[in-house]
C-alpha cells in the first residue's frame, strides 16, 4: 500500500514524524487564528453589591467599539429589602411595590470615563414588567469606587481593552 513496504524502518519513522509535525502545526495555526466563541445562556457576571442590592452585567451581550471607545452593556440590579424601600421613596407609585430587579442598557465611553444609562426596565418577582424609563441624554462622569466605575474596570480587564 502506497509503496511503504519498500521503505526502510528508519525512513518510515521519519515520514510519520514529519506528518505528525505538520498536523500539529496545522492545529496550532487553526487554534491561534480562529476565535473560539462560547455563548452561555445565563451569562451574568457579578460586579459588586452593597446593602441596597447586587449588580451584574451580561457578558455575552457586550459590544465594544474601539473606534468610538464606547461599550454598550446590559446591567442587572437585584434589589435588597433596603434597596426596594429606597426605590419606593423615589417612585411613589403602587405599581412598583413588588419590584425585584431592573435591567439597564448602559453606554460607557471608556476613554472619557463617562456613562449614559439609556433605558431601564423594572421587573416584579413574578417576572412581569412593571415599568420602564427612557432616559434623557444625560451623560455623567464615572465616580471612583462607584458601581459604574467597577463595571468599566472589570470589562476593560476582562476584554483586555486599553483606555
pLDDT in tens, 41-92: 478 989 989 999 999 999 888 888 889 989 999 999 999 999 999 999 988 8
In terms of pLDDT, which residue wins out, 79 or 32? 79
Q: Do 19 and 49 fall into the same domain?
A: no
The pLDDT-based confidence of 37 (bands split at 50, 70, 90) is very low
In a domain, 125, yes or no: yes
In terms of pLDDT, which residue wins out, 80 or 3? 80
pTM passes above 0.75: no
In a domain, 163, yes or no: no
First-to-last C-alpha distance (Å) of the chain: 61
Q: Do 100 and 130 fall into the same domain?
A: yes
Q: Please report the sign of the dihedral spanned by the C-alpha atoms of residue 153, residue 157, residue 159, residue 163.
A: positive
Q: Is the pLDDT of residue 33 over 80?
A: no
In the chain, where does DSSP find H-type helix? Answer: 9-33, 81-90, 147-158
Convert the pLDDT of each residue in 100-151 to its tens digit. 999 999 888 888 888 888 889 999 999 999 998 877 656 677 777 788 888 8
Q: Do 65 and 143 fall into the same domain?
A: yes
Q: Do 72 and 126 fall into the same domain?
A: yes
Please state, in angstroms and as integers, the Cα–Cα distance from residue 126 to each residue in 31, 53, 99, 100, following that order. Answer: 44, 18, 9, 9
Q: Is the pLDDT of residue 30 over 80?
A: no
Q: Strand pairing of 114-124 and 129-134?
A: antiparallel
In a domain, 39, yes or no: no
- The boundaries of the domain holding residue 17 are 4-33
Q: Is the pLDDT of residue 32 over 80?
A: no
The pLDDT-based confidence of 38 (bands split at 50, 70, 90) is very low
Q: Do 93 and 54 fall into the same domain?
A: yes
Q: Do 28 and 49 fall into the same domain?
A: no
Q: Do 119 and 143 fall into the same domain?
A: yes
In a domain, 130, yes or no: yes
Please state, in angstroms and as integers, the Cα–Cα distance from residue 46 to each residue in 55, 112, 126, 155, following that order. Answer: 6, 24, 22, 11
CATH number, domain containing residue 81: 2.40.128.710
Tell me the average pLDDT across 12-27: 80
In a domain, 19, yes or no: yes
Q: Do 82 and 10 fall into the same domain?
A: no
Q: Do 131 and 83 fall into the same domain?
A: yes
Number of domains in the chain: 2
The pLDDT-based confidence of 40 (bands split at 50, 70, 90) is very low
In terms of pLDDT, which residue wins out, 154 or 75? 75
Q: Do 83 and 26 fall into the same domain?
A: no
Q: Do 89 and 28 fall into the same domain?
A: no
Q: Do 13 and 82 fall into the same domain?
A: no
Amino acid at each position: 500500500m502506497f509503496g511503504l513496504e519498500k521503505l526502510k524502518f528508519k525512513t518510515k519513522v521519519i515520514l510519520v514524524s514529519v506528518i505528525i509535525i505538520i498536523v500539529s502545526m496545522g492545529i496550532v495555526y487553526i487554534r491561534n487564528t480562529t476565535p473560539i466563541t462560547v455563548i452561555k445562556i445565563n451569562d451574568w457576571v457579578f460586579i459588586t453589591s452593597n446593602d441596597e442590592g447586587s449588580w451584574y452585567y451580561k457578558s455575552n451581550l457586550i459590544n465594544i467599539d474601539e473606534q468610538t471607545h464606547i461599550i454598550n452593556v446590559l446591567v442587572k440590579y437585584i434589589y435588597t429589602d433596603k434597596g426596594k424601600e429606597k426605590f419606593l421613596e423615589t417612585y411613589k407609585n403602587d405599581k412598583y411595590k413588588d419590584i425585584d430587579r431592573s435591567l439597564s442598557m448602559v453606554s460607557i465611553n471608556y476613554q472619557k470615563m463617562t456613562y449614559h444609562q439609556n433605558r431601564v426596565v423594572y421587573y416584579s418577582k413574578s417576572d412581569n414588567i412593571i415599568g420602564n424609563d427612557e432616559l434623557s441624554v444625560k451623560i455623567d462622569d464615572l465616580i471612583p469606587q462607584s458601581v459604574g466605575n467597577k463595571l468599566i474596570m472589570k470589562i476593560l480587564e476582562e476584554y483586555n481593552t486599553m483606555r
